[in-house]
Structure 1
Amino acid sequence: MRKIVRRTVLAVAAVQGVTLAALAVVDYRRKKVRRPAVFPRVPPRSVTAGGSEVTVYTYGEDLFADMLGAIRQATRQIFFETFIWKADPVGLEFKQALLDAAERGVRVYIVYDEFANLVVPRTFFHFPKHPNLKIKPHRLFSMGLSVARQAGRDHRKLLVVDDDVAFVGGYNIGSTYATNWRDTHARLTGDIVWDMQNAFIDYWNLFPRRRLPQLPDTGGLVWQPNIRLYRNVPKNLVFPIRGMYLEAIDRASHHIYLTHAYLIPDDDMVRALLQAAERGVDVRIIVPAESNHIVADWLSRGFYSQLLRGGVRLFLYQGAMVHAKTACIDGQWSTIGTANIDRLSLQGNYEINIEVFSAPVAAQLEEIFAMDSSNSRELTLDEWHSRPAMVKFSESVLTPFRTLL
């Protein structure tokens, strides 16, 4: 019996290995022949939410121009945190702008994730010593008794300049993201800027390092009722973004529009979406037809049959990688941030999302959703059921990997 079990396990592992290898080959060939991305976009537009102003970006060049402009106008301090930071023209422009700010007397604090940047030359992250420049990489490996608490990646992307402006959303830093990816980011001014500052300060102080100062932690002067900040903090086993989504989906009465780069929901998230569709809510989800992670695509497709049968409508974004992490519900509630609908984001990584209670912000996101829908192809249940048997088999073989992503 032990031999049978062992041989069965080895056979399954071999099939999984062959499937993953085949997908890697397909992905490599696909990326070599990929054409420049062409997709619709809307110019950034500002709307008011309580005591704050929200500007939504759908194109990287627009966003990076405003981020760099804010950095170059800084007079006191800059908090800069990113997941991926490429050593290309855009990445170098950000690096130089931050160095120039430090030179003119601005206190600059930088955080980046080591694991996400393993393919970036190490020399890119060598900065000249300067009293105004403090850099704290999110370590590839952290020492600690709990693996679950220490293994989370810093998937956040935020910039806070002085007390004036903050940026948060899905965009990493690099030339590809400037023109070839459809992502969503928000610029925030007003009361919510303190919350963004506090989010950076709390992360910075959570990982004390020798030769790096702790940042002063002061209380907020204003409670912002229209915008709330949610932060996943694996070290403290705090993951509120998942709960935020589940609560909002549970309240939906008319429509739910989700746009996500990677859709690998857990059982509770699937159940919430299906229950919403069952009670008559128009549930629509935009995902990339082909993302930058082919394995994530195939794991995501394992949920399509269940979602389509339950009345959820799926739209496949064409011609570009859609990397947004947004949702809008019933014309009143919205979220923009860094968290995907997968286990890595909702139960593993350091993430940050804003939750906005504002009809004007929701209307803007619905306009963007309509624009993205015009560049998407709806996937029907009949079409999905007619896919080749080998594809169905490969999807089932990869099912155990869902818990990893």
Structure 2
Amino acid sequence: MSSPPACPRAPASFPWRRAAAVLAALALSGCASLPDTRFLSDRYEEQSSHFRDAWGPLSEKRSAAIVAQLKRNNGDLDILDRQTVLEQQIGGSALVVGNKVTLLQDGPATYGAMFAALRAARDRIDIESYIIEDGEIGEKFAALLLERQSHGVQVNAIYDSVGTSGTGQPFFDRLRKAGIQVLEFNPVNPLHLKKAWAPNHRDHRKLLVVDGSIAFLGGINISNVYSSGSSIGHSGQAVDPTLGWRDTDVQIEGPVVAEFEKLFQDTWQKQGGKPLAGAGTPSPGAPRGQEIVRAVGSTPDDSFSLMYLTLISAITNAQKQVYITNAYFVPDPQLLGALLAAARRGVDVRLILPSQSDSAAAYLAGRSYYEELLEAGVKIYERRGSLLHVKTVIVDGVWSSVGSSNLDWRSAMDNDEVNAVILGRGFAAQMRAAYLKDMAASDAIELEAWRGRPLRARFKEAVARLWGPLL
């Protein structure tokens, strides 16, 4: 069976004539709004940074000692202080110490690590994915889930109704018959709904939690498109189906996994799923490493997107570098303004974006912003030889984010997303190495050459930009 798009995108030949139908659906579902981020530039009164570990919140004295140690090891970490204060004010989960974070690049490495964790599962498996495809990769996952369920491991699965529309119901019926609890997120068919119909609200998360002790998250769906990994080859606007997909996940072990488990349980409950066996407030596991991690879950059910505010805060507070890799770049005015302001105050702002995409509309809309960004000093690179699907950010070599969130309106307003924010230079150095490798496999966009592109290309980009909030 052919693979559905890896993200909720307009297809390569965008159905412009159906725009009225799209707008009608948005009107029926209700439109979320982006939060006003102007307050991010305000000065905050100095506050203590708060942390927790496997046993609960840390004392102010121990939290202060952690910050002092971070500053000794990493240099001036004003971003840590300001970011922590901001996130404590707007809500969200705690900064959790004692975690081990492993960077996973592309499908083969990620699937290999996931399969190993699944085989070792002894109690519980929770899996949530925008796409669960019934191809070779999906069958491998299904076989492992069925095998573990038969050995007494309770398996719970959430899949998005739109993202997995190409997967036949027999695939999920087989899982259900074996005792696996399967939940369809926000069914397209209103007759299957257990809450108000909101057709534009999608579950874009990619999350796997095993035994409450290990979590995987990032941009990788359960799909055959990730089977070969990324490759270096020719470039061009048209998508070559033989190209590998370039993507990134993280494997996290330690007490912060309980925060990701909570996000899964919250989604299950909001979607009206049957009570989960053994569910309750997840208990943080034992320390496994030295990383400080925050679990960031965003949903339009909340009054604002926590990841959106977190990202713009990080960019606003950046002092040296902002390195971004993203598959779908259709920025709203506030995000665009934060990038422009950072570059103009001397921050080294770099964007690695696709040279080809499974969404021509998003690809063209993103390119319509290039000239303004280049004029402000932002460096732009387009990844060649693979289909870029990465969603990562590195700020000042100490603040890193990996997750499912794109830099577009849809992620900020309409999707459930999940990201991990990791503090510290050790993990950021790994992220930077991967970033530089991608940059070496990319073509730099030069301002003068870009200004000379054909009028036809400019027109397509301008038209696509008009549809930015829908992409």
TM-score, length-scaled by structure 1: 0.84
Superposition deviation, residue 118 in structure 1: 1.6
Superposition deviation, residue 59 in structure 1: 2.2
Verify the 8 A CA contact 1:105 1:132 in the aligned structure 2: no
Superposition deviation, residue 144 in structure 1: 8.5
Residue 285 of structure 1 pairs with residue 285 of structure 2: no
Post-superposition Cα deviations, 1:265-301, rounded to whole Å, max 9, x if no partner, equal 1100000001000110000000110012111101111
Post-superposition Cα deviations, 1:141-180, rounded to whole Å, max 9, x if no partner, equal 3659976x66310000010000321101000112221221
The one-letter code sitting in structure 1 at the alignment partner of 2:260 is M
Per the alignment, do residues 175 and 146 of structure 1 end up closer, same or farther by CA in structure 2, a change over 3 Å counting?
Answer: closer
Residue 93 of structure 1 pairs with residue 148 of structure 2: no
Per the alignment, do residues 343 and 246 of structure 1 end up closer, same or farther by CA in structure 2, a change over 3 Å counting?
Answer: same
Whole-angstrom CA distance in 2 between matches of 1:320 and 1:382: 26
Residue 398 of structure 1 pairs with residue 464 of structure 2: yes
Residue 205 of structure 1 pairs with residue 283 of structure 2: no
Paired residue secondary structure (1:350): strand
Verify the 8 A CA contact 2:254 2:284 in the aligned structure 1: no
Counterpart in the other structure of 1:318: 384
Residue 216 of structure 1 pairs with residue 279 of structure 2: yes
Per the alignment, do residues 282 and 129 of structure 1 end up closer, same or farther by CA in structure 2, a change over 3 Å counting?
Answer: closer
Superposition deviation, residue 120 in structure 1: 2.6
Residue 158 of structure 1 pairs with residue 207 of structure 2: yes
How many residue pairs are counted as aligned between the two chains? 359
Superposition deviation, residue 110 in structure 1: 0.4
Counterpart in the other structure of 1:188: 252
Whole-angstrom CA distance in 1 between matches of 2:455 and 2:127: 48
Counterpart in the other structure of 1:32: none
* RMSD, aligned α-carbons: 2.3
Whole-angstrom CA distance in 1 between matches of 2:278 and 2:268: 7
Whole-angstrom CA distance in 1 between matches of 2:298 and 2:132: 21
Counterpart in the other structure of 2:223: 174
Post-superposition Cα deviations, 1:235-290, rounded to whole Å, max 9, x if no partner, equal 23441110000110011111110000000011000000010001100000001100
Post-superposition Cα deviations, 1:326-374, rounded to whole Å, max 9, x if no partner, equal 0001110000000000011111100001111111011110000000001
Counterpart in the other structure of 1:113: 160
Per the alignment, do residues 21 and 342 of structure 1 end up closer, same or farther by CA in structure 2, a change over 3 Å counting?
Answer: closer
Post-superposition Cα deviations, 1:104-157, rounded to whole Å, max 9, x if no partner, equal 10000001111012223333222254574100011333659976x663100000
The one-letter code sitting in structure 2 at the alignment partner of 1:91 is G
Whole-angstrom CA distance in 1 between matches of 2:366 and 2:422: 27
Whole-angstrom CA distance in 2 between matches of 1:392 and 1:50: 48
Per the alignment, do residues 133 and 21 of structure 1 end up closer, same or farther by CA in structure 2, a change over 3 Å counting?
Answer: closer
Whole-angstrom CA distance in 1 between matches of 2:253 and 2:276: 27
Superposition deviation, residue 50 in structure 1: 3.7
The one-letter code sitting in structure 2 at the alignment partner of 1:122 is Q
In the TM superposition, 1:4-19 aligns within 5 A as none
Whole-angstrom CA distance in 1 between matches of 2:468 and 2:363: 11
Counterpart in the other structure of 1:232: 298
Paired residue secondary structure (2:280): coil
Q: Which runs of 5+ in 2 are unaligned?
A: 1-12, 17-95, 229-243
Paired residue secondary structure (1:398): helix
Paired residue secondary structure (2:310): helix
Verify the 8 A CA contact 2:14 2:360 in the aligned structure 1: no
Counterpart in the other structure of 1:38: none
Superposition deviation, residue 82 in structure 1: 0.7
Among candidates 99, 111, 114, match of residue 52 of structure 1: 99
Superposition deviation, residue 208 in structure 1: 1.4
Counterpart in the other structure of 1:374: 440
Counterpart in the other structure of 1:61: 108
Whole-angstrom CA distance in 1 between matches of 2:462 and 2:397: 37
Counterpart in the other structure of 1:262: 328
Sequence identity of aligned pairs in percent? Answer: 31
Paired residue secondary structure (2:220): coil
Whole-angstrom CA distance in 2 between matches of 1:321 and 1:139: 28
Whole-angstrom CA distance in 2 between matches of 1:206 and 1:236: 12
Whole-angstrom CA distance in 2 between matches of 1:92 and 1:355: 31
Verify the 8 A CA contact 1:332 1:357 in the aligned structure 2: yes
The one-letter code sitting in structure 1 at the alignment partner of 2:161 is E
Counterpart in the other structure of 1:274: 340
Per the alignment, do residues 346 and 129 of structure 1 end up closer, same or farther by CA in structure 2, a change over 3 Å counting?
Answer: closer
Whole-angstrom CA distance in 2 between matches of 1:221 and 1:191: 4
Counterpart in the other structure of 2:312: 246
Per the alignment, do residues 213 and 76 of structure 1 end up closer, same or farther by CA in structure 2, a change over 3 Å counting?
Answer: closer
Whole-angstrom CA distance in 1 between matches of 2:415 and 2:282: 26
The one-letter code sitting in structure 2 at the alignment partner of 1:120 is T
Whole-angstrom CA distance in 2 between matches of 1:266 and 1:377: 25
Moved more, 79-88 or 221-230: 221-230
Verify the 8 A CA contact 2:125 2:211 in the aligned structure 1: yes
Q: Which runs of 5+ in 1 are unaligned?
A: 1-18, 23-48
